[in-house]
Structure 1
Amino acid sequence: MQTIRNIRLQSQHLVNQKITDIKELVQYMGAIQAQEYTMAKWAIGSRLGSATDKTIEEAFNEGKILRTHVMRPTWHFVANEDIRWMVELSSKRIISACISLGKQWEIPEKQYLKAINLIEKLLEGNNHLTKEEIKKEFEQRNIPSDIPEINRYLMRAEAEGLICSGAVKNKKQTYALIDERAPATNTLTKEEALARLASRYFLSHSPASMNDFIWWSGLLISEAKQAVKLIEKDLIFEKFEGSELIIHRSVDYQPVLDDSIHFLPSYDEYLISYKNRTNVLDLEHYSKAFNTYGIFYPVLAHNGRIVGNWKKSANKKQLSVDTSLFIEIPDIKEILYEQAHKKYHSFLDKK
């Protein structure tokens, strides 16, 4: 188990960090789940030596990294250069889901198209709008726009490759046109996109199984197998405690690591990006890390093993982190906690 954890800590860029650029890190990871925006920024910051909450938000506002629904689908950070081909890989499944949910909410296709056209017009000219602002525009035009409906419109527009995240406005997320946020790039064939997605995943998530990749990518089983086949020469297939896992040949790892503690954010890639999580989290403690509704909590990892939870203290005068262990580790060195606290404080730019 520890060998798997050691390799993952390094491939996930949680230790032995070599990348220093925010966009490069997101591109290296393929995508970073961004269900909770604040925590997702920490997911980036915890993997970079000098990035702060402020510098990550600046990169986001400038459009170097973007937030949209891709893959499973759920919110992810992706590099601006990658958004088009990643959306294209996911689009058919998301549109199909939107149509199905539209029938449930009695949203006819004609209404979808009318809504998407309006959204496109409202956002033209780098006019970034919040969901509430878009909803208000719909109401003024007597277009049905209850929350379930407006969510369906926006997700459909994302899947169509029309919109993505805009700059943060008054601490609220906004939407913008992809054509005004992301540079034009060469179109990838489906095979090229599959190969690139598989390469990014196994480079930054090794060792992982085929089932892990299927779960993370949201691809059909046949598509995932095709993707792995396309980059087979770049992969090593090894048995770890009776299970076959895949390691990208470019993963440069040390077999033995110094002791470490990591305060991992909710929905962190270290946990959520694998179908089987028992390599880093004991099955009996699953409920401490996530619930049956798919809500993931901030967790504390010791040498890559998830052993507890953490949360930012409610004390507004002084920043501190409260921790609680659900697995007792009697020999944890106090300096490891101090190092983890220091990194989080530096990310928040707190003294």
Structure 2
Amino acid sequence: MATSGARTRTAAAPVRSAELTGAEALALRTTSLLLRPHPTARPTDVAGVVEWFGAMQAQDAASGMWSLGLRLPGWTQADVQAALERREALRTWPMRGTVHLVPSRDARWMLEVTGVRILDAAGPRRALLGLSLEDVDRAADVLGGALAGGVRMTRSECLGTLNAAGVEATGQRGYHLLWYAAQRGITCIAPHVGTEQTFALLDEWVPDPHRPDRDEALGILALRYFRSHGPTTRKDFAGWTGLTAADAKRAIAVAGAALTTVTVDGVEAVVDPALLDAPREPVDDVHTLPGFDEYLLGYKDRSLMLDAAHKQAIIPGSNGVFQSTVVRGGRVAGTWKRTLTKTKVKVAVRPLVDLDVATRARVDAALEAYAAFVGLPLAVDWATA
């Protein structure tokens, strides 16, 4: 699997090749998201899945684990955890100020290309928290020194280290200081130990980073985004990366012939040409996706997947916290919420559309796959629609 198809491409605009209906685009998009078999690629490990997407939303660690698990049939949570310990991917804040899983060797250049705008805009947030630029730089230096030599510390240990050094790290100040150190490329989020987030030095965790120049980096971002989310628009790409409209346009141009354009109900969209060989007919498949999955988080315009009437159920109060979704035929059909105990995983399912007995059985089967992933027996409670 190529990691930087834009490297040898010329900066030429993609070539128009197809007209699609919304239903056809949804079928293709579900394939590009690796929720159906892809005609040319099927990543077989954590490194492959994360590299395919380029970045995967993972502000909630458990959600990020299941996003990987459902695309790696037969894998368990322990398998994914082991892959992260092998550094096949890591978590950091590369885009939009939120945590993503990214290919480990790509973390630094992604921070430099997509994270810089968020870092530059952090002044008002610092002021609100009573922090100066000198405060956050000092905190980053303190963490850098404490983690040097292969040390790995939990979140609470990091905050305790800052407080001991005279940098108040209580409440939201602590979160901001941890974010800032990672945003500067000093630290990264290592895998959890038990239930606690851990941190390490990025340069020590990834001693051999990939270092593309800016144009190549933009091309890689475009190629990975559109092959894993397409067909979709340049606006969605800019929203996902946080790039300016000009940089988003440049990125697509650098990717060149690795991408092509189509129209979806008359609107121009970009896609990996290989995807156009996938079936375009609607498929009545059922998935139980985590809340923070690229299926919804990867787009500004979610109308192909989500009925406007159901938005409040998926993002209650529009607070940025997404509920886990039941998806049928590429469309959101319900939500599910899991509670883990020592002896079972209890799941409450809330349909948003009518689901017959046969479909409910298929949802139960999809949830059984999740229960196998976490290694616990399943108990399902169906709410009234």
Q: TM-score, normalised by structure 1?
A: 0.93
Distance in 1 separating the partners of 2:92 and 2:258: 29
1:1-351 matches, cutoff 5 A: 1-16=22-37, 18-251=42-275, 252-256=277-281, 258-291=283-316, 292-312=318-338, 317-330=343-356, 332-333=358-359, 336-350=362-376
Displacement of 1:311 in angstroms is 2.1
The Cα shift of 1:331 comes to 7.7
Residues in 1 aligned to 2:354 and 2:210: alpha-carbon distance in whole angstroms: 52
| Structure 1 alignment gaps of length 5 or more | none
Q: Point out the more displaced range, 232-241 or 307-316.
A: 307-316
Residues 73 and 90 in structure 1, CA contact (< 8 A), matched pair in contact too = no
**Structure 1 stretch displaced more, 94-103 or 58-67:** 94-103
Are the equivalent residues in 1 in contact too, given 2:345–2:376 (CA < 8 A)?
yes
Q: 1:273 is matched by which residue type in structure 2?
A: G
Distance 1:213 1:331 in 2: 39
CA contact (8 A) 1:98 1:155 kept: no
Maintained 8 Å contact 1:298/1:311: yes
- Residues of 1 paired with 2:76 and 2:188: CA distance? 23
CA distance in 1 between counterparts of 2:133 and 2:49 reads 39
How far the C-alpha of 1:335 sits from its partner, in A, is 5.1
Structure 1 residues 314 and 162 mapped into 2: Cα distance closer, same or farther (>3 Å)? closer
Cα distance, 1:312 vs structure 2:
2.3
Q: How many residues align?
A: 351
Would the aligned equivalents of 1:313 and 1:320 in 2 still touch at CA under 8 Å? yes
Give how far 1:313 is off: 5.2
User: Partner amino acid for 1:326?
Assistant: L
Q: Among all aligned residue pairs of Structure 1 and Structure 2, give the percentage whose two residues are the same amino acid.
A: 28
List per-residue Cα deviations over 1:199-238 (Å, max 9, x = no partner).
0000000111111111111111111111112123222222
> Normalising by structure 2, what TM-score?
0.86
Classify the secondary structure of the residue corresponding to 1:75: strand
Local SS of the residue matching 1:57: helix
Aligned residue type for 1:264: L
Q: Provide Cα deviations, 1:50-101, integer angstroms capped at 9, x if missing partner.
A: 2211111112223221011111120001111211111111232132133332
Give the residue type in structure 2 aligned to 1:221.
Answer: A
8 Å CA contact 2:152–2:198 kept in 1: the answer is yes
The alpha-carbon distance between structure 1 residues 89 and 330, as it changes in their structure 2 partners (threshold 3 A), is: same
Contact 1:90 1:159 in 2 (8 A): no
Letter in 2 for 1:269: E
Using the alignment, how far apart are the partners of 2:300 and 2:286 within structure 1? 23
| Structure 1 residue 305, shift from structure 2 partner | 0.8
Q: How far apart are 1:33 and its partner, in Å?
A: 0.3
